[in-house]
A = this chain, B = another copy of it.
Amino acid sequence: MGTSLRPAHTDFPAPQMPDRDHADCRGVASILARVGDKWSVFVIMMLSDGPKRFNELKRMINGISQRMLTLTLRGLERDGLVTRTIFPTIPPRVDYELTDLGRGLQQPVMALGLWAKEHQAQIAAARTRFDERNDT
């Protein structure tokens, strides 16, 4: 298979939690890892407004390779966030659609995206400042 769908970096090394409620960060982190994944977020966003076909997604997310799109979709499907529906027509047609779970995920992701958008400037400025201090 070459590339596993159960990436090693999502197996977490059981950090010792201070005492708080985030006692089970390991499982949570593997989910955050998916959200943090560059392409997953794009795909989820693209599927916001209804099902899409493979090449449709590929065109919308201009820049993603076919390989990565396939892998990303498989990962999302595996996590139950996306469904894959095959229409046995000629030529074949495959639709991808968010599940209820996937749509639920959209909310917090959007919230985060919104935060990011609102503080984009601040962060960019911080980066510039930091880089100027350390580059020269």
Contact = CB atoms under 8 A, between A and B. Distances in A.
A112 B113 contact: no
B80 A123 contact: yes
Nearest to A129: B80
Interface residues of A, number: 64
A4 to B, nearest CB: 11
A15 B62 contact: yes
Interface in A89-136: 101, 104-105, 107-109, 111-117, 119-120, 122-127, 129-131
A24 B117 CA distance: 8
Contacts of A36: 32-33, 35-38
Interface of A: 5-6, 9, 12-16, 18, 20, 22, 24-25, 27-29, 31-33, 35-38, 41-42, 45-46, 48-49, 59-64, 77-81, 101, 104-105, 107-109, 111-117, 119-120, 122-127, 129-131
26 contacts: A6-B131, A13-B62, A13-B63, A14-B63, A15-B42, A16-B61, A18-B49, A22-B113, A28-B113, A28-B116, A28-B117, A28-B120, A32-B35, A32-B36, A32-B113, A35-B36, A77-B130, A78-B127, A79-B123, A80-B123, A80-B125, A80-B126, A101-B119, A107-B115, A108-B114, A109-B112
